[in-house]
Structure 1
Amino acid sequence: MSGTGRVRGLIRDLAMGMRFSVTGGREGWARTVLTAVGVGLGVTLLLLTTAVPNALGHRHDRERARNDMTSRSLARDPAADTMLIAVTDTSWRGEDIRGRLVQPEGPRAPLPPGVDQLPGRGTMLLSPALRRLLDSPGGALLRERLPYRVSGTIGEDGLVGPGELAYYAGVSGLRPGAALGRVERIHAFGSRDPGLGPDPVLVLLVLIVSVVLLVPVGVFIASAVRFGGERRDRRLAALRLVGADTHTTRRVAAGEALAGATGGLAVGGALFALGRSVADRFTVFGVDVFSGDLDPVPALAGLVVVAVPVAAVVVTLSALRGVVVEPLGVVRTARPPRRRLWWRLLMPLGGLGLLAPMMGQGRNNGDFNQAMVIGGTVLLLVGVTALLPWIVEAVVPRLGAGSPSWQLAVRRLQLSSGTAARTVNGIAVAVAGAIALQMLFAGVQADYTRHTGNDLTRAQMAVALPAAVPVADATRTLESTRGVRGATGLSEGVLGERATAAQRYVELTVGGCAALREVATLPSCRDGDTFVIGNREYDRDTAALARPGRTVYVDPGYGEDAAALRVPWRLPRTLKAASLRSDPSGYERGGVLVTPGAFPAAAGAALTGKVYVSLDPAVPDARDLLRNAAARIDPLAFPAAFAATEQNRRFSTIRTGLLVGATCVLLLIGASLLVSQLEQLRERRRLLSTLVAFGTRRSTLSLSVLWQTALPVALGLALATAVGIGLGAVLLRMVDAAVGVDWPGVAAMAGIAAGVVLLVTALSLPALVRMMRPDGLRTE
C-alpha cells in the first residue's frame, strides 16, 4: 500500500473509532461522557494554570502603575502638576485596607489609575468592595473611621483585585515630611523599579510547586482516557470477528480515545469559561482576580490543546500493547504475566541522579538548573505511578482470608490490580509531592521568618502620632477607649550636635517616670530628671554629645518647616545613668531620656509621639475600636498591631499560591475519583446484579467496594510517604538545610487524602445501590 493509502486508512480507522464513541448505543455514550468529564476536569485545571501567569502579571502591573512615593514620582517643590499624598493604610477585622489622603497643589495634579477626578476636600473615592462593606450593617464601626462623603468609585485599573478594600480621600493641611515621612509631594504615579533579584531558594520553591501541582493533573488525564477499557476491548474483539486486523483495531481504539479527549477539551474549555465568568466573586486564601485577568498564555493553551489528544492516543496504544484482541475474546481475561520491577526503578533513580549534583548548593552558589530540577522532580513523582501497580500486584495475592466483603474485594483486586492502581495513582503522586513540599517549606521557613521581639505581654498595639499631636492628650483618649486596658505615651526625636549639617545624633525620649521605665531601667525618677543610656557598645555619639551643660539641638527632620522647629537645648548639669531595657516593641533605645519638667516646651513641636497600648481580649473588635480612636485623634495617626514573627512577603506569596493550587488539585482529585468510581461500578453492573440475585447482601457488596478502594489507597499512601520523604530530603540538601521530617504534617497529608477517598466512596454508594437492582441483568 502506498503512503497516501496508509494515511487514508489511518484517517478512516480513526474516524470509525470516533463514530463508535458516539453511535455505539448507551454504553458508547456513557464511556465517552465519562472520559470527556474526566479529561475535562484536568483540562480545566491546566487552562487555569496557563492563565495564572497572566493574572498575576496583571495584578503586579496595576500595583506598579499606582505606586506612589517612589524615586520616579517624588517632587521637591510645589507646581501645577504636583500633589501631596499621605499613606493611611489600615486594617478591618484582619483585612487590609489601602488608604491615601490627597491634596492637589495645582490644576494638573496627577490622577491615580482608576480615577477620573480627584476627590474634593471631605470626600472620598472607594473601591466597590469597600463601598459594599461600608453600606452593610457590619460596616458601621468602620464607617466611623472614614468620616468622608462618598463621591465616586475607583475603577478596575486602580485595584489589584475585585475584592480589594481601598479609598482616596481629599483633605487639606498636609505637610511634606510629616507623620514620619508618610506624607510626600509627588508629580506622577507608577514605578519602574524591577524589584529585588531572584532568590535561588524561592525560585526552587516556585519550580517544585509548579511540578507538584501539575503532575497529578497529567496522571488524572492519563487515567481518564482509559475509562471503559474492558468494554472497549470486547468491542474490538467483535471488529476482529468481522475481519479487521490487529492494527485496524488499535487505530479504532485510538479514534475512540481521541473522541473522548476532544470532548474533554470542549468540556474543559466550557468549565474554564464558566469559572472565568464568575472568578471575580471568589477569593481563595486572600487572592482574587478580575475575570478579564484570567487569559491563558496562548502558547501554553495551544500546548494543552495539542498535548491532551496526543497523550490520549499514546496512552491508549500503550495500554493495548499488553492485550491480545482476538475474534473470540480478549486474552487479558487470563492471568497476566508478572510485572517486572527493574525498569520501574529507573525513573526514581534517574530523578535522584538529576537532583544529586545540586545537593549542598544552597542560595549562595548560583541559581539551580531549572531543567534538572523539573526533570528530576517529575521522574521521582512519575516513578510513583510506575511502582504502585507492582506493589499492589505483589501485596494483594498475599492477603489472607476474611469476611465475604473482604474476599470479594481481594479477588477483584487480584483480577484487575492495574485498574486499582491507576485509580489511586493521582492521589499517591499528589501526597508525595505535598510531603516533599511541606518538608522543604518547613526547612527554609526560618530563613524567611523574623522574630520581631515584640513583647505581647506588655502591649499588643502601638500608635505613632504626628508631631502636632500632644502625646498626653492622645494617651488619655486612647486609654479611655473601650477595649483598652492601659496606654503608655512617649515623645521621640533626635538631638544633633549643631543647628545645621550635624554629623552626630543621639536619640531623645520624653515622658513621665512610669513611661520611661517602660523603655529603660532607671535608678530613681521624679519629674525634672534627665537620664543618659550610654552602655550600648556601638553607640559612641551618646558619650560625645550627652555631656552635662552642653548645648544640643532638637532636630525635627527634613520637613519644609524643619528650620523653624529646630530648637537649642542646654542639657542639665546633672545627668543620671540609666540602663538598657527593651520597649514593648523589642527595641533597645539609647541616648537621652528626659521627664517633661526638664525639657523645653518650645521643642515639643519637633517630636513625634508613640503610645503603647494593652488591649482587653474579652472585648470584641478591640483593635478596630482603637484604630477608630486613633483616626479621631488625627487621620495620620498610625496604629500598628504587634506580632511575634514576620514572614518574608515573597515567601508568603509562594505559600499562598501553593494553598490555592493545592485546593484546586484536591477538588480535581475528588471529582476525578468519583468519576472513576462510577465508571468502574457501571462496568460491573451485571456482576453486582448477579450477586444480589444469588442472595448476596447489599451491605456486603458496599463494604467490598470500600475495601477495593481502601487497600490500593493504603499501599499508595505508604509509597507516597516514602517517595515524598526521600524527595523532601534531597530538596533540603539542595538548599543546604538540615533534613527533618514533620511527622504530624505527614500524617495530616495522608489523612486528608484518605478522607477524600472515603468521601468519594460515600458519594458513590447511591449509584452502587441502583446498580444492584435485578434489572441490571437485562441485555440488549
Structure 2
Amino acid sequence: MTGGTALGVVVLLTALAVPGMLGHRAERTDARTVVCAGADGRPAAGCGLVGQSVYDSWQDRPLQRQLVVAADSSVAPPPGLPALPRPGELILSPALKKLYDAPGNQTLRDRLPGRPSAVITPPGLLQPDELLAYIGVDRTPGAYVQHAAGYGPQAHGASGPAVVSQAGAIADTRKNTVTLVVGIIAVLTPVLLFLASCARLSAATRDRRLAALRLLGLTPRQTQVVNAGETAVVSALGVVLGLAVFEALLPAASSWTVAGYGWFSADLQPPLWQTALLLLAVPVLAVCVGAVAVRRATGVTRAARVDALPKPLSSWRLVPLVLGAALSGYAALSPPPETGDPNTAMLLVTGAGLLLTFVGVATATALIARSIGVLLGRLARSIAVLLGARRLEVEAATATRVVTGLVLLVFAGTLGQSVFASVESRAGAESWARLMAPGVLQGPAATAEGLPVPESVLRGVPGVREVVPVRRLHTPLPDALQDAPAATAGAGDLPQTPVAMHSAVVLSCSGLATVIKQPPQDCQEGTAYWLPRPNGGTAPATTAPLTFTAPEQPGAAVTVAPPVRTLAVPDPYAVSDTSPLAADILLPPDTPGLSGVPAPVETYLVATDGKASTYEALNAAVARMDPSLTVSVPDIALEAQYQFPLFRALLVLGTLLTLVISFATIAVGSIDRAIERRREVALQAVVGVPLPTMRRAQLVQILVPYGAGIALALALAVLAGRAYGRTGGTQGGIPLGSFAAIAGIAVLGAVVAGLSSLPALGRRVKAEFLHRE
C-alpha cells in the first residue's frame, strides 16, 4: 500500500504541475511581450514598437529574433536582460549562444547581425533550451512611429491596460483552460482509482485479523478505528515517500522536453496549498476505501451466508451504452454544417452521446462479459473454460473490475486521437503545406519598407532548383463604386445587381506543376484556364471580355477573352482562397498585352532539394537584406500550426501517465482478486483440480471481459470521434499509426492483466493452507 500510494502521489503531483507550468509560461510570455505607445502615451495596437518579433526556425527548432530600437533610455528592458541592446549588439539565450559559437553555423550567424554582448538569464526564457535573440538595430523596418514603450504589464503598471502582444504566433494558453481542466481530470480519475485499489488490497489482507479482534470483544466502531489508524499511517508514509521522490526528480526535469516543450524545474513546483491538500486528501481517501472494504469483517455478526451468490446484474446497465451509441450514431450520420461552423444543438447531442458512451462502457462491460460467460458455459467442453465461464456468470462485475480502468483508458485514448486527427484534418484541408511539392518554400518578395527582393537573391543559394514568382491581377471596381464617397455611401447607394469580381494569377503550366504536389492534367502552355473551387463550383457562364489591372496601379490594364475550360487540378485546395496561388483564372505569362501591366511579384515559391542546409541558407540570404524577413513553408493554418504541438504534448504526457497508472491498477486489482478467491482456489484443490487448469480458468476470467471491453471501447470511440468530426465538417476517424499504437497498448494490457493474476495461484497448495481457508 505504501509503494502504490507513493506512485500515485508522484503522478498526482505531476498532473498538478502542468497547469502551473503553463501559467508560468504565459506569465513569462507576457513579461517580455512588447507594449507600444501611441501619440497620447497610451498603449495602442499597430504603432511603432520598441522591437519587432520575427519567428522562424533553426534545424527544426523554433527561433525567435526580437529587433530592438532603443530610442528612449527610459524603456525598461524585459526580464532576463541587463539592458536593451544597442545597434550592432546581440543578446542571446544560452542555447542560442552555444549554437552561435559553433564553427559550422555561419548561416546562423548571418541571420543574427551584430556581436554578442550578453546572455539572457532564465527569467527571460520560456524554457531552458529556447532559441531567442534580441538584436539592436537603428530602426525597426516598416514601423509607423517610434514613441516610448516597454515590455510586459510592468510597462504601464499593474492597473494599466492589457498588454498589446505582437507575438501573434505564440499560443495563448489561457484560451485552453477548459481543455486543460478536462485533461487533468482524465489523468486524475485513474490515479484515484489506483489509490482506491491499493487501499482495498491492504484491507483485504487485514480482514481476518480484524474479524479476530471482533471475536475478542471489540465493538464495530472500535475495530473501524483500529483499521482507520493503520490505514492513515501507512498511506501517510506513502504520501511522504511520493513527495520525496517527486522533489528528487524535479531538478532533472528541466532537461526533459515533450514534443518540443520544455520547462524550468521551479515552474513545475505545485503551489503549497495544493501540496498540503494532497497530503490530507490521499490518507482520507485511503481510510474511506479501507472502511468500506472491511465492513463485513468489522460489522455486526449476521446469520446470512457470507458465501452466498452475489446479486445478478441488472439489464439497466445497458441503458447508458444504448443511448450514447444512438446519439453518437445520429451525429455521425448527420450531414455536416453548410457554413462550416458547428451547430450548437448538434454539439450538445455529440457531447451527451460521448458522456453516456463513456459511462456505458464502464457499466455494460460486465453485463456483456457475463453473457459471453453464459454462452461459453453452454458451448465449451474444457474444464478450465467451464470453470472460468461459470465464475464470469456468477461474479462478472467483480471480474470486470480488474480491467475497467484500462478499458476506459483505451476508449479515452482512441477518442482523443480521433478528435485530434479530426481537428488536424480540418486545418490540414486548408493547409497548403500539405498540398505543395516536396521541398517547396515561400520566400518574401519585398522588404518591410517595400523594396523588392531580387529573384537572384534566392536563385543564387545552393540547393535551389527553381524560383517561381507569383503575380496577381484583379478586375477593377465599376466607376460608380470607385467614385462613391466612402463616408456617404449607404446600403441604398450600392448597385442592386451583383458585381462579378475576378482575380488572376500569372503563372505558366510548368511553374504550377513545379510547386504543387499533384500537377494539373492536360495543361497547355499559353492557354488561360478557369481554376477549380474546393466546393466543386463551376466556372462562371460569361462571354464578355475580362479586364485586369495590377494592385494599386489601375492605370495599366489588359483585356483577355474569358477561358473556355476549367483546369483539371487533382486537389482544388492547392488553388483555393487561402493558398498563395488563390485566384479564379490562370493566365499564362505570354498573354498579349500583359507585359504592359507592371504587376509586382507578391511572393516567391522556391523549389529546393529539401535539405535543411538549403532552408537555413535561404533564411540567411533574405536576412542579410532585411533582418525581419524569413523563408517559410507555405501554411495558412498558422494558429493550428502553433497550437497542435501543445495539444499533442499534453495528450502524450497524459496518455503516458495514465498508462502507467492503469497497468499498476491492473496488477493491484489482479492480486486483490486472487486474495479474494483464496477459498475458491482451496475448494478446487480439494476436489482435485490441477493447478494448470486453475491458471487457465483464471485467464478466462480476465481475458474475456478485457477483450469484450477493449473491442467495445475501440468501436464506440471511433464512432464518437466521427460524430465530433462531422459537427465540424470533417469525417473524423483516427490515423492508422495511432490506431496501431492503441492496439499495441491493449495487447500489452492483456499480457499484464493475465500474468499479474498467475503468481497468486503459483504457490504450493499445502494442507495448512486448505485447513485455514
Q: TM-score, normalised by structure 1?
A: 0.68
Change (3 A) 1:329 1:463: farther
Change (3 A) 1:751 1:490: closer
Please tell me whether the aligned partners of residues 211 and 377 of structure 1 are also in contact (alpha carbons under 8 angstroms): no
Name the structure 1 match of 2:408: 429
Please tell me whether the aligned partners of residues 228 and 683 of structure 1 are also in contact (alpha carbons under 8 angstroms): no
| Matched ranges for 1:29-48 at <5 A | 35-48=1-14
Q: Which runs of 5+ in 2 are unaligned?
A: 153-161, 478-482, 487-500, 516-522, 529-538, 568-573
Name the structure 1 match of 2:51: 85
- Structure 1 residue 136: Cα displacement: 6.4
Please tell me whether the aligned partners of residues 201 and 668 of structure 2 are also in contact (alpha carbons under 8 angstroms): no
Name the structure 2 match of 1:588: 583
Partner residue of 1:53 out of 19, 29, 37: 19
| Matched ranges for 1:380-395 at <5 A | 381=358, 384-392=361-369, 395=372
Structure 1 stretch displaced more, 89-98 or 66-75 = 66-75
Structure 1 stretch displaced more, 130-139 or 86-95 = 130-139
- Structure 1 residue 773: Cα displacement: 12
Name the structure 2 match of 1:192: 163
Partner residue of 2:136 out of 159, 166, 170: 170
The root-mean-square deviation of aligned C-alpha atoms, in Å, is: 6.2
Please tell me whether the aligned partners of residues 493 and 508 of structure 1 are also in contact (alpha carbons under 8 angstroms): yes
Q: Secondary structure at the match of 2:191?
A: helix
Partner residue of 1:667 out of 642, 660, 669: 660
Q: Secondary structure at the match of 1:227?
A: helix
What is the distance in 2 between the residues matched to 1:88 and 1:740? 35
- Structure 1 residue 663: Cα displacement: 2.3
Q: Secondary structure at the match of 1:277?
A: helix
Structure 1 stretch displaced more, 98-107 or 83-92 = 83-92
Name the structure 1 match of 2:536: none
Change (3 A) 1:227 1:485: same
Change (3 A) 1:628 1:587: same
- Structure 1 residue 119: Cα displacement: 3.0
Structure 1 position 232 matched with structure 2 position 225: no
| Matched ranges for 1:226-625 at <5 A | 226-296=200-270, 301=275, 304-320=278-294, 332=306, 334-341=307-314, 344=317, 365=344, 381=358, 384-392=361-369, 395-396=372-373, 399=376, 420-441=399-420, 448-453=427-432, 456-457=436-437, 460-465=440-445, 466=447, 467-468=450-451, 470-478=453-461, 481-482=462-463, 484-489=464-469, 523=526, 571=556, 585-588=580-583, 610-617=603-610, 619=611, 621-625=613-617
- Structure 1 residue 165: Cα displacement: 1.8
Please tell me whether the aligned partners of residues 465 and 607 of structure 2 are also in contact (alpha carbons under 8 angstroms): yes
Partner residue of 2:85 out of 114, 119, 131: 119
- Structure 1 residue 613: Cα displacement: 1.0
Please tell me whether the aligned partners of residues 108 and 620 of structure 2 are also in contact (alpha carbons under 8 angstroms): yes
| Matched ranges for 1:209-224 at <5 A | 209-224=183-198
What is the distance in 1 between the residues matched to 2:194 and 2:36? 47
What is the distance in 1 between the residues matched to 2:674 and 2:102? 49
- Structure 1 residue 58: Cα displacement: 1.7
Change (3 A) 1:374 1:702: same
Count of aligned pairs between the two proteins: 692
Please tell me whether the aligned partners of residues 384 and 720 of structure 1 are also in contact (alpha carbons under 8 angstroms): yes
Please tell me whether the aligned partners of residues 503 and 584 of structure 2 are also in contact (alpha carbons under 8 angstroms): yes
- Structure 1 residue 284: Cα displacement: 1.3
Q: Secondary structure at the match of 1:266?
A: helix
Percent identical among aligned pairs is 26
What is the distance in 2 between the residues matched to 1:307 and 1:375? 31
Change (3 A) 1:229 1:174: closer
What is the distance in 1 between the residues matched to 2:602 and 2:88? 26
- Structure 1 residue 391: Cα displacement: 4.7
Change (3 A) 1:373 1:119: same
String of CA shifts for 1:491-536, please: whole Å, max 9, x gaps: 8999999xxx9999999999999989999998599xxxxxxxxx99
What is the distance in 1 between the residues matched to 2:105 and 2:411? 44
Change (3 A) 1:451 1:748: same
- Structure 1 residue 275: Cα displacement: 3.9
Q: Secondary structure at the match of 1:88?
A: strand
Change (3 A) 1:229 1:128: same
- Structure 1 residue 436: Cα displacement: 3.9
Q: Secondary structure at the match of 1:89?
A: strand
Structure 1 stretch displaced more, 440-449 or 253-262 = 440-449
Structure 1 stretch displaced more, 318-327 or 85-94 = 318-327
Change (3 A) 1:517 1:263: closer
- Structure 1 residue 717: Cα displacement: 1.6
What is the distance in 2 between the residues matched to 1:274 and 1:252? 33
Please tell me whether the aligned partners of residues 200 and 363 of structure 1 are also in contact (alpha carbons under 8 angstroms): no
Partner residue of 2:709 out of 712, 716, 740: 716
- Structure 1 residue 614: Cα displacement: 0.8
What is the distance in 2 between the residues matched to 1:493 and 1:189? 41
What is the distance in 2 between the residues matched to 1:723 and 1:252? 45
The amino acid of 1:43's aligned partner reads V
Q: Secondary structure at the match of 1:225?
A: helix
Q: Secondary structure at the match of 2:14?
A: helix
Q: Which runs of 5+ in 1 are unaligned?
A: 1-34, 526-534, 547-551, 555-568
What is the distance in 1 between the residues matched to 2:104 and 2:746? 39
Change (3 A) 1:335 1:207: same
- Structure 1 residue 461: Cα displacement: 0.3
What is the distance in 1 between the residues matched to 2:760 and 2:424? 46
Change (3 A) 1:683 1:349: closer
Please tell me whether the aligned partners of residues 17 and 269 of structure 2 are also in contact (alpha carbons under 8 angstroms): yes
What is the distance in 1 between the residues matched to 2:587 and 2:40? 34
Please tell me whether the aligned partners of residues 486 and 614 of structure 1 are also in contact (alpha carbons under 8 angstroms): yes
Please tell me whether the aligned partners of residues 32 and 124 of structure 2 are also in contact (alpha carbons under 8 angstroms): yes
- Structure 1 residue 126: Cα displacement: 2.0
- Structure 1 residue 309: Cα displacement: 3.2
- Structure 1 residue 727: Cα displacement: 6.0
Q: Secondary structure at the match of 2:632?
A: strand
Change (3 A) 1:272 1:323: same
- Structure 1 residue 343: Cα displacement: 6.3
Q: Secondary structure at the match of 1:161?
A: coil
String of CA shifts for 1:461-485, please: whole Å, max 9, x gaps: 021142446514314313xx13x22
Name the structure 2 match of 1:19: none
What is the distance in 2 between the residues matched to 1:169 and 1:502? 46
Please tell me whether the aligned partners of residues 176 and 184 of structure 1 are also in contact (alpha carbons under 8 angstroms): no
Q: Secondary structure at the match of 1:614?
A: strand
What is the distance in 2 between the residues matched to 1:176 and 1:75? 20
- Structure 1 residue 388: Cα displacement: 4.2
Q: Secondary structure at the match of 1:283?
A: coil
Partner residue of 1:101 out of 46, 67, 88: 67
Please tell me whether the aligned partners of residues 119 and 168 of structure 1 are also in contact (alpha carbons under 8 angstroms): yes
What is the distance in 2 between the residues matched to 1:274 and 1:122? 44
The amino acid of 1:62's aligned partner reads R
What is the distance in 1 between the residues matched to 2:164 and 2:714? 43
The amino acid of 2:653's aligned partner reads V
Change (3 A) 1:322 1:773: closer
What is the distance in 2 between the residues matched to 1:523 and 1:722? 53
What is the distance in 2 between the residues matched to 1:506 and 1:356? 42
The amino acid of 1:753's aligned partner reads I
Structure 1 position 638 matched with structure 2 position 630: yes
The amino acid of 2:745's aligned partner reads A
Structure 1 stretch displaced more, 703-712 or 651-660 = 703-712
What is the distance in 2 between the residues matched to 1:513 and 1:728? 40
